[in-house]
């Protein structure tokens, strides 16, 4: 196995960690605990499954740690395709990491309320339930902000995949489309009230999912094509 193939498979492995931990923390845990129109039930769910809530936070932290490594490994693999785009890919991806980690503060604050610190006795149950919902909604708004960079990094990444000559061009196209899907989702939810009620909101980030999962699996299973290729680096 060539060094290039080892790098590709390592990138695929890290990408898989990002995808699995991201799915667990952003989709699975909320689906089990959050009932957005029922603060009392949400409070009860988190209180009775606090360990799952904690695992969701830990999953997010692991996801962001892996996402710190991912663009650096991809840079090593793709820098000869286009140095400028490779650097831009790394910068846009890494910007999201501290923002994502800081956003977890809202979930730690939820834990403080759920676990019942003494100074919270001044609040009644309904007030605590409302505070939890405010914090969870604040966390979701933070995720919306982070999605700007989750989208932006996909364009240079997709371009590099498309031009690489050793990864399927169709994956690069999906990644670049995914960039615009994320941005449309962010601005749609910001500008249009009840954007989530529109059916398009369920599919707008689908190209990104196809591109990222597809690229992850290709790197992990196939690595890179073993063939001679000429790549002109454009800086």
- Which tens digits make up the pLDDT trace of 62-92? 999 999 999 999 999 999 999 999 999 999 9
**φ, ψ for residue 166, nearest 5 deg:** -125, 5
End-to-end CA distance of the chain: give it in Å, rounded.
Answer: 29
Q: What is the mean pLDDT of residues 1-18?
A: 92
Which residues does 136 contact at the CB level (< 8 Å), separation at least 6? 34, 42, 106, 107, 110
Which range has the worst mean pLDDT, 127-141, 180-194, 215-229? Answer: 215-229
Q: Does position 111 have pLDDT exceeding 50, yes or no?
A: yes
Residue 76: name the closest of 68, 87, 92 by CA. 87
Q: What is the mean pLDDT of residues 9-37?
A: 97
- CA 217 to CA 215: how far, in whole Å? 6
Give residue 1's pLDDT band: very low, low, confident or very high (50, 70, 90).
low
The contacts found for 81-85 with CB under 8 angstroms, 24 or more apart, are 81/160, 81/163, 81/164, 81/165, 81/231, 81/233, 82/159, 82/160, 82/163, 82/233, 82/234, 82/235, 83/233, 83/234, 83/235, 84/234, 84/235, 85/156, 85/159, 85/160
Share of the chain above pLDDT 70, in %: 95
Helices 50-78 and 3-23 meet at what angle, rounded to 10?
150
pLDDT at site 226 = 58
CA distances from 234 to 61, 84, 141, 158, 164 (A): 35, 7, 37, 16, 12
pLDDT at site 196 = 86
Which residue is listed with tokens 């039930």?
A: 41
**φ, ψ for residue 37, nearest 5 deg:** -95, 5
Q: Does position 109 have pLDDT exceeding 90, yes or no?
A: yes
What number of residues does the chain have? 235
């Amino acid at each position: 196995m060539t060094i290039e193939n080892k790098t590709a498979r390592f990138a695929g492995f890290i990408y898989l960690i990002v995808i699995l931990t991201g799915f667990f923390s952003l989709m699975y845990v909320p689906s089990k605990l959050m009932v957005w129109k029922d603060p009392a039930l949400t409070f009860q769910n988190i209180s009775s499954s606090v360990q799952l809530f904690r695992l969701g936070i830990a999953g997010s932290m692991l996801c962001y740690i892996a996402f710190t490594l991912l663009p650096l490994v991809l840079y090593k693999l793709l820098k000869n395709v286009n140095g400028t785009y490779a650097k831009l890919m790394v910068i846009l991806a890494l910007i999201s990491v501290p923002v994502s980690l800081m956003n977890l503060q809202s979930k730690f604050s939820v834990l403080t309320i759920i676990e019942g610190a003494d100074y919270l006795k001044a609040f009644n149950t309904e007030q605590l339930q409302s505070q939890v919902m405010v914090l969870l909604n604040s966390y979701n708004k933070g995720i919306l902000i982070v999605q700007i960079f989750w989208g932006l990094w996909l364009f240079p990444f997709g371009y590099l995949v498309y031009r690489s000559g050793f990864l399927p061009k169709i994956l690069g196209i999906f990644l670049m489309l995914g960039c615009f899907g994320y941005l449309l989702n962010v601005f749609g939810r910001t500008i249009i009230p009840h954007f989530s009620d529109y059916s398009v909101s369920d599919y707008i980030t689908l190209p990104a999912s196809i591109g990222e999962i597809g690229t992850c699996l290709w790197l992990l299973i196939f690595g890179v094509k073993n063939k001679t290729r000429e790549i002109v680096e454009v800086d």
